[in-house]
């Protein structure tokens, strides 16, 4: 008979007293999210993973933004230019300041549609690129749609003038004109009737937002759970809305910040349904510092809430000594020697039992056994000791 294994992954982060930090330049802020509807996704140029965005979030040059079905987002740049990103769109934002009130901006549309209204200060400095076309702004308001299936780019000019080109030729489209381009064909220009102008950008305001209230204020101890109340808010009246009975997604912006519905299982993302506009989740931090949760839902404006976590110095010393003793006792002398001379920075249980004292006690008494213990160097110069533990093997059929 097969007996299922229970694996508990315990992550210890330790920092050498001799580590020298290297500071890297940070991409500059060029815009901010002014409005959003649904779970907008964002990632920086240095990351491969998309994360949930939130209203008011700063946009840095090199950031990618992605929207799924029924998801929209509005962005305002430092020079006052506005763009609105339609559902099922993915774009990259590249921008740099060239004067006090002027940016040089390039939007790359990998797929989807973007409406833009550009300030006079940014004329000739605002461009949109797709795999088949380049759009250079000579006026103010226009819409660009790239269809990745047909590899065609469609331009609609509402006000002003826009230069539209590919490798074959270029045209200058004026107000109430449209044009289309494919990779192998020259652009074609045509008149646009008022009834054919894009209207999606006028209806992207969310119906709901969220109010997040933790049951404890101030700093929080690492690995101790905090309850957070989630309440739905009507974005028009700004009042609590008890008619909301929909699913929300709670995600974290750190691999060592966890959330749970009932406190028995923890992960970086959970889905839950608010009843009568209310719900409660728990969060637990695994390292010292600040990290956040983001609550979002369909047709809603995402909300961010930050937490600061700490470990007392006496607690660090106690856990450090206990960990060193148990690892050495269980035959991982090479790891214990590696730990010696380094100070504990943070600790997190990423799967299973959330109480680190219980985990270490069970390992010490033999109720759990260490499967592996490996030091891993992190990008920031710290080291992690990842322990994987499970109940001891009993019999041959495991």
Instruction: Report DSSP letters for 252-268, one per residue.
Output: ESSTTEEEESSSSS-BS
Q: Give the contacts of 105 (CB within 8 A, at least 6 positions apart).
A: 30, 77, 81, 93, 94, 95, 122, 125, 126, 127
Render each residue's pLDDT in the chain as its tens digit; 398 residues: 333 343 433 444 433 222 222 333 457 899 999 999 999 999 998 888 899 999 999 999 999 999 999 999 999 999 899 999 999 999 999 998 877 678 899 999 999 999 999 987 666 689 999 999 999 987 689 999 999 999 999 999 999 999 999 978 899 999 999 999 988 888 889 999 999 999 999 999 999 999 999 999 999 988 889 999 999 999 999 999 999 999 999 999 988 889 999 988 889 999 999 999 999 999 998 777 899 999 999 999 999 999 999 888 887 788 778 888 888 888 888 877 777 777 766 666 655 545 677 778 888 888 888 888 777 777 777 777 777 878 887 654 43
- The region, left, alpha or beta by phi > 0 then psi within -120 to 50, assigned to residue 319 is alpha
For the chain, residues classed under CATH 2.60.120.1440 are 69-202
Burial 333-354 (b: 16+ CB within 10 A, else e): eebbebbeebebbbbbbbbbbb
* H or E stretch at 92: strand 89-99
CATH 2.60.40.10 intervals, the chain: 208-310
- Compute the half-sphere exposure of residue 150: CA atoms within 13 Å on the CB side of its CA: 11
CATH class of 208-310: mainly beta
Strands 58-60 and 63-67, by their bridges, are unpaired
Backbone φ and ψ of 200, nearest 5°: -60, -35
pLDDT at 19: 27
d(CA 38, CA 52): 10
**Distance separating alpha carbons of residues 292 and 253, to the nearest angstrom:** 6
* Residues forming beta bridges with residue 59, ordered by sequence position: 31
| Rounded Cα–Cα distance for residues 254 and 304 (Å) | 13
Task: Report which DSSP code applies to 201.
Answer: G
CA distance 111 to 116: 16
Distances (CA, A) of 103 to 122, 161, 216: 6, 19, 43
pLDDT value, residue 395? 53
Residues recorded for the chain: 398
- Number of Cβ within 10 Å of residue 194's Cβ equals 7
User: What residues contact residue 181 under an 8 Å CB cut-off, 6+ apart?
Assistant: 132, 133, 152, 153, 155, 164, 165, 166, 187, 188
Q: How far apart are CA 34 and CA 23, in angstroms?
A: 30
Tell me the helices (H) and strands (E) count for the chain, helix number first: 3, 30
Structure tokens belonging to residue 246:
């929909």
Domain 69-202 has CATH 2.60.120.1440: yes
The pLDDT of residue 8 is 38
Cα–Cα distance, 371 to 350 (Å, whole number): 15
């Amino acid at each position: 008979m097969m007996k299922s294994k229970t694996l508990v992954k315990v992550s210890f982060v330790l920092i050498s007293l001799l580590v020298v930090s290297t500071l890297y330049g940070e991409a500059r802020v060029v815009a901010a999210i002014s409005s959003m509807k649904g779970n907008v996704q964002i990632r920086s140029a240095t990351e491969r993973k998309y994360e949930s965005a939130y209203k008011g979030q700063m946009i840095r040059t090199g950031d990618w933004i992605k929207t799924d079905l029924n998801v929209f987002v509005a962005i305002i740049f430092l020079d006052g230019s506005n763009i609105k990103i339609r559902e099922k769109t993915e774009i990259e934002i590249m921008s740099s300041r060239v004067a006090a009130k002027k940016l040089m901006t390039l939007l790359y549309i990998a797929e989807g549609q973007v409406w833009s209204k550009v300030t006079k200060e940014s004329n000739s400095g605002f461009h949109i690129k797709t795999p088949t076309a380049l759009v250079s702004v000579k006026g103010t308001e226009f819409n660009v749609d790239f269809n990745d299936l047909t590899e065609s780019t469609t331009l609609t000019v509402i006000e002003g003038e826009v230069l539209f080109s590919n490798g074959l030729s270029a045209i200058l489209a004026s107000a109430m004109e449209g044009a289309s381009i494919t990779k192998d064909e020259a652009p074609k220009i045509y008149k646009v009737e008022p009834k054919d102008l894009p209207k999606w950008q006028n209806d992207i305001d969310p119906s709901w937002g969220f109010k997040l209230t933790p049951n404890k204020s101030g700093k929080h101890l690492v690995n101790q759970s905090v309850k957070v109340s989630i309440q739905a808010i009507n974005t028009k009246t700004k009042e609590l809305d008890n008619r909301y009975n929909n699913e929300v997604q709670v995600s974290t912006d750190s691999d060592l910040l966890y959330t749970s519905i009932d406190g028995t299982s923890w992960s970086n993302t959970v889905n839950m349904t608010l009843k009568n506009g209310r719900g409660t989740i728990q969060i637990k931090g695994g390292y010292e510092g600040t990290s956040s949760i983001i609550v979002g839902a369909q047709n809603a404006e995402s909300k961010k809430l930050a937490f600061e976590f700490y470990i007392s110095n006496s607690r660090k010393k106690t856990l450090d000594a206990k960990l060193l003793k148990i690892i050495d006792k269980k035959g991982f002398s090479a790891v214990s020697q590696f730990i010696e001379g380094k100070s504990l920075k943070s600790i997190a249980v990423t799967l299973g039992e959330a109480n680190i004292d219980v985990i270490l006690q069970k390992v010490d008494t033999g109720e759990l056994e260490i499967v592996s213990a490996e030091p891993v160097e992190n990008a920031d110069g710290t080291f992690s000791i990842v322990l994987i533990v499970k109940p001891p093997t009993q019999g041959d059929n495991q």
